[in-house]
Chain A
Amino acid sequence: MFRKRSTWALPYVIFMVLFVVLPLLLIAFYAMTDGNGHFTFSNIAGFFTDAKFLNSFLVSLEVALENTLICLAIGYPVAMILSNKDLNKSAVTALLFILPMWINALMRTMATAEIFNAFGIQLGKGTLLFGMAYDYLPFMIYPIYNVLNKMDKSYAEAAADLGAKPATVFLKVTLPLSMPGIISGVMMVFMPTVSTFAVSEILTNNTIQLFGSVIQEQFYNMMWNQGAALALVMLIIIGITTIFSSKKDGEAEGGLI
């Protein structure tokens, strides 16, 4: 009886093969063919030889790294305070931090850009980092908050009872135990930052092009094969980071809601 019920997943498996696996294979297919369907490496070579592609890729990695660190630096203390029963008793406060996500991200980004304009601040790298931190902070706070909330507080208490200073307790107990939350927070901030397109255009007035924008531009100009090659590069990097983080982590904890 139990064996048979496993077939209930069949519609979903077929759906996934058609709409997830096949499309990803098509990215690889288009990346390695030219407009007439003939095999070629020139699209992939284009990524390494065209300075524009490589530059925007490196800039994206840099911006994503900075954004992730900013979100972690601001978000970790928030998650810690929210999960501390002495400092915060109401669940509503935690809810307030994810509420902005229900407002359309592009609309919020436009408003952020308008605020900078209103204060006469030139749009550029600084405003990009500031605006991105707005957009991604909740994604960093929530997984860490979830893990800290479920964490057994007696470990930290035991460490303190055995004479560890508060800083030592944090570094040796709380921080390592919250690692799964940090990893899923980083995953939820880093890759999306590399790949955003509209957000960076709005926040920098088109002066900084992130990798996502470059990919989108290729498709907009009907250069599907080149666009697919750039997407493939990104896909490979995602694959590598995923394997790396899942090895370190084992099980993915946290997540949103």
Chain B
Amino acid sequence: MMKKILAKSYLGFVLVLLYAPIVFIAIYSFTTAKSMGNWTGFTFDLYKSLFTGGAAEVVGGSSPEKVGSLVTALENTLLIALIASAFSVMLGTLAAIGIYNMKTRQKAAVQFMNNIPMLNPDIITGVSLFLLFVFLHISKGYVTVILSHITFCTPYVVLNVLPKLSQMNPNIYEAALDLGATPSQALRKVMIPQLWPGMLSGFILSFTMSLDDFAVTYFTAGSSGLDTLSTYIYADARKGGLTPELRPMMTIIFLLILVVLLLVNYRTFKKTKTANS
């Protein structure tokens, strides 16, 4: 019993530490002070300013241009993450099927290559791609950022799909072909439904990493004026203060993610419960 209380309070303590910055952001999303830690009274003004695009007459709110570029940064972040993870899943799933059917030595070589982007720190990936685009005289922008995100996301898709392939019975695919399905039909109707869980977790992982990326985007977006949330915040930090509207934005994002995760967990929890009874 004593052990249990001790264990629980340790977990609680670490969680409090982990969540302190997020709670701090959430608390100060209800006050308009320029910097956090300076309480100037409870108000929803920052939320109003965020949702009206800075048009509301808010003391301490930012200009419409500033809020506009923040919202654009959020849209860019989501769009890049969506496109990059969609491509990563396609590329990575095909690659996993290919790798699974390779001979041992070929397999080892491709898997080694697949490991490189996962072991490289972000800055190395960023710098190396920066040099590539300089070397090939490709002007940096949306396309280079998306290509770079695909580069560091796809290995995780491969890693998530490969185990599903080894769980699968290869004869089912062969049977579909024998029964007259074309390879693309067999892929769509037989293979993909079985690989789906791996593809989905690959997608979620890719999406998360793309959202959170800073270093690679920083080096591959160039001076095109393309901002994601990370590069926007970095530019803000260099100028010495965050746009106050970031606080309500982060609070909303966090609550959304929390709700989604709890719902997903509740559903799987219920499923396992009904499966057990």
Residues of chain A whose beta carbon lies under 8 Å from any beta carbon of chain B: 1-3, 5-13, 15-17, 19-24, 26-27, 30, 74, 77-78, 81-82, 84, 86-88, 91-93, 95-97, 99-112, 114-115, 117-118, 134, 137-138, 187, 191-192, 194-198, 201-202, 212, 215-216, 219, 224, 227-228, 231, 234-235, 238, 242, 255-257
Contacts and interface: CB of A to CB of B under 8 A. Distances in A.
A37 to B, nearest CB: 11
Interface residues of B, number: 87
Given A110-B242, A114-B35, A224-B131, A103 B15 contact: no
Contacts of B24: 111, 114-115
Given A77-B10, A104-B250, A1 B177 contact: yes
B134 interface: yes
A35 B238 CA distance: 29
Contact of B37 (A99, A117, A215): A117
B74 to A, nearest CB: 10
A15 B219 contact: no
Contact of A111 (B25, B129, B229, B257): B25
B98 A115 contact: no
Contact of A219 (B10, B103, B219, B254): B219
Contacts, number: 236
Contacts of A255: 159
A231 B230 CA distance: 22
B208 A102 contact: yes
Given A7-B98, A15-B151, 7 more contacts: A13-B95, A24-B128, A91-B265, A100-B18, A100-B21, A110-B237, A234-B121
B237 A20 contact: no
> Closest 7 CB pairs between A and B?
A9-B98, A118-B37, A23-B128, A12-B95, A195-B121, A8-B98, A111-B21
B10 A238 contact: no
Contact of B101 (A3, A21, A215): A3
A96 B114 CA distance: 30
25 contacts: A9-B102, A12-B92, A19-B132, A24-B128, A27-B127, A77-B10, A78-B11, A93-B11, A95-B261, A99-B257, A102-B253, A103-B22, A104-B212, A106-B233, A111-B21, A137-B18, A187-B119, A191-B119, A197-B215, A215-B123, A224-B131, A231-B123, A231-B128, A234-B121, A238-B120
Contact of B22 (A82, A100, A256): A100
Nearest to B261: A95
B79 interface: no
Residue from A88, A111, A134, A256 with most neighbouring chain B CB atoms (10 Å)? A111
B116 A20 contact: yes
A6 B103 CA distance: 8
Given A6-B101, A107-B25, A15 B36 contact: no
A197 B154 CA distance: 24
B51 interface: no
Contacts of A74: 14
Nearest to B131: A26
